[in-house]
């Protein structure tokens, strides 16, 4: 039985974010031919890497992974990366970098970040959340070989997809939903301005448990989601779409023009294939 080790800053039991939900869906959909193990970056050391040289490592979010451990992973194990944002940038966002420092992102060229060129370059496979994101990486990180990349998009568990199916036909009211988070990129103020300018009936929600949020979406006319910077493949947009909501968004939603994102049915069908697409590569 093959061992696949998932390495991350945090997992869904630590923090319920979009990346963590996708990671959890991938891990829990592993075929019977694979055994999986989770390790947090803060708990990793060189001995653990050396003891698991025969495993394939899947690196998820790795902001807290020390530089010397990146080098040790490069030298000692086969690994893949699932890239949720733009971790070649210290801000994980090219727009936030530009806004904060007043110049285009040059993080990948800074001496202290050179290890990231190698870390991306030596990965056997890099999974991206959208075609737009993948193309930006190929432009900015010259060590990446295109043949080692693939667009995965976000991944949903079978259970969550079945739950979405069970509530998608709920009767909808005339309210547009705005989800407030602490993340700058999500564009909360943009959403408020939009509904006020358009005089739309709306409701702001925050910190709802995941399934309660899905139920709220299922009874809402639409979702307003206008991020300030690149959001590679926001699950919220797909959830709203699969639940039959009208989605008002902008081009910072980087998956919005992909072929599968045109309507609720094609989105739902595409989401049904994501986990198997991931694991088939390792079979």
Say whether both 126 and 238 belong to one domain: no
Task: Evaluate whether residue 9 is within a structural domain.
Answer: yes
Three-state DSSP at 243 gives coil
Give the tokens for residue 124.
Answer: 């056997």
Task: Report d(CA 28, CA 25) in Å as an integer.
Answer: 5
Q: With contact defined as beta carbons under 8 Å apart, do 260 and 238 qualify?
A: no
Residue 148 and residue 33 share a domain:
yes
102-146 pLDDT, tens per residue? 999 999 999 999 999 999 999 999 999 999 999 999 999 999 999
The pTM assigned to this predicted structure is 0.96
Q: What is the pLDDT of residue 72?
A: 98
Give the pLDDT confidence score for residue 63 in this predicted structure: 96
Placement of tokens 């043949």 in the chain: 147
Residue range of the domain that includes 178? 158-271
The pLDDT tens digits of the residues spanning 85-101 come to 999 999 999 999 999 99
The answer as to whether 61 is a domain residue is yes
**Largest alpha-carbon pair distance within the chain?**
60
pLDDT score at 128: 98
Region 6-14: what's the mean pLDDT?
Answer: 97
218 and 108 in a common domain: no
* Residue with tokens 């190698």, as numbered in its chain: 118
19/154 Cα distance (integer angstroms): 8
Is 189 within a domain?
Answer: yes
User: Within a domain: residue 278?
Assistant: no
**pLDDT higher than 90, residue 44:** yes
End-of-domain residue from the set 124, 152, 180: 152
Is 279 within a domain? no
Tell me if 145 is assigned to some domain. yes
DSSP SS3 for 211: helix
Residue where one domain finishes, among candidates 129, 152, 175: 152
Q: Does residue 41 sit in the same domain as residue 128?
A: yes
Mean pLDDT of all residues in 73-77? 98
Residue 199 and residue 171 share a domain: yes
Of the candidates 83, 80, 111, 118, the one whose C-alpha atom is nearest the C-alpha of residue 230 is: 83
Residue 182 has pLDDT above 90, yes or no: no
DSSP state of 220: S
User: How far is Cα 124 from Cα 68, in angstroms, rounded to an integer?
Assistant: 19
Co-location of 210 and 107 in the same domain: no
Degrees to nearest 5, angle at CA 144 with 142 and 149 = 140
Q: Are the C-beta atoms of 88 and 140 separated by less than 8 Å?
A: yes
Question: What is the per-residue pLDDT across 187-242, written as a single tens digit (0 to 9) for each?
Answer: 999 999 999 999 999 999 999 999 999 999 999 999 999 999 999 999 999 999 99
* The total number of structural domains that make up the chain: 2
Looking at residue 67, its pLDDT comes to: 96
- pLDDT of the residue at 202: 98
Is 256 found in the same domain as 164?
yes
Predicted confidence at residue 73, as pLDDT, reads: 98
Question: Does the pLDDT value for residue 78 go beyond 90?
Answer: yes
CATH number where 209 lies: 3.40.50
Distances 16 to 72, 159, 196 between C-alpha atoms, Å: 29, 16, 30
100 shares a domain with 59: yes
Contact 157, 28 (CB under 8 A): yes
Q: What is the DSSP string of 32-46?
A: TTEEEEEEEGGG--H
What whole-number percentage of the chain has pLDDT above 70? Answer: 100
Residue 209: predicted pLDDT: 93
d(CA 49, CA 88): 23
Residue 276 lies in a domain: no
Residue 163 has pLDDT above 90, yes or no: yes
Domain end (from 152, 180, 214): 152
Q: Check whether residue 136 and residue 190 sit in a common domain.
A: no
Q: Is residue 208 part of a domain?
A: yes
209 and 123 co-located in one domain: no
* 11 and 144 share one domain: yes
Q: What value does the mean pLDDT of the chain take?
A: 97
Q: What is the pLDDT of residues 58-67, one digit of tens each?
A: 999 999 999 9
Residues 142, 184: one domain? no
């Amino acid at each position: 039985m093959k061992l696949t080790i998932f390495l991350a800053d945090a997992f869904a039991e630590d923090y319920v974010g979009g990346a963590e939900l996708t990671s959890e869906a991938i891990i829990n959909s592993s075929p019977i031919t694979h055994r999986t193990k989770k390790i947090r970056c803060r708990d990793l050391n060189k001995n653990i890497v050396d003891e698991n040289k025969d495993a394939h490592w899947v690196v998820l979010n790795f902001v807290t992974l020390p530089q010397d451990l990146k080098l040790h992973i490069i030298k000692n194990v086969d690994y893949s990366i699932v890239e949720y944002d733009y971790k070649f940038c210290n801000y994980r966002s090219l727009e936030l970098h530009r806004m904060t420092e007043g110049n285009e992102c040059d993080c990948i060229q800074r001496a202290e970040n050179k290890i990231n060129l190698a870390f991306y370059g030596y990965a056997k496979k890099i999974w991206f959340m959208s075609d737009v994101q993948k193309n930006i990486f190929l432009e900015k990180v010259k060590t990446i070989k295109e043949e080692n990349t693939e667009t995965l998009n976000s991944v949903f568990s079978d259970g969550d997809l079945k739950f979405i199916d069970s509530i998608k036909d709920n009767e909808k009211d005339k309210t547009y939903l705005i989800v407030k988070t602490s993340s700058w990129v999500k564009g909360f103020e943009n959403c408020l301005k939009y509904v006020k300018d358009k005089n739309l009936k709306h409701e702001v929600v925050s910190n709802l448990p995941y399934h309660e949020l899905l139920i709220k979406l299922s009874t809402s006319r639409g979702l307003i989601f206008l991020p300030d910077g690149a959001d590679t493949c926001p699950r919220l947009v797909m959830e709203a779409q699969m639940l039959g909501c009208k989605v008002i968004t902008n081009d910072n939603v980087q998956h919005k023009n992909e072929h599968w994102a045109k309507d609720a049915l094609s989105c739902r069908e595409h989401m049904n294939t994501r986990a198997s697409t991931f694991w088939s590569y390792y079979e």
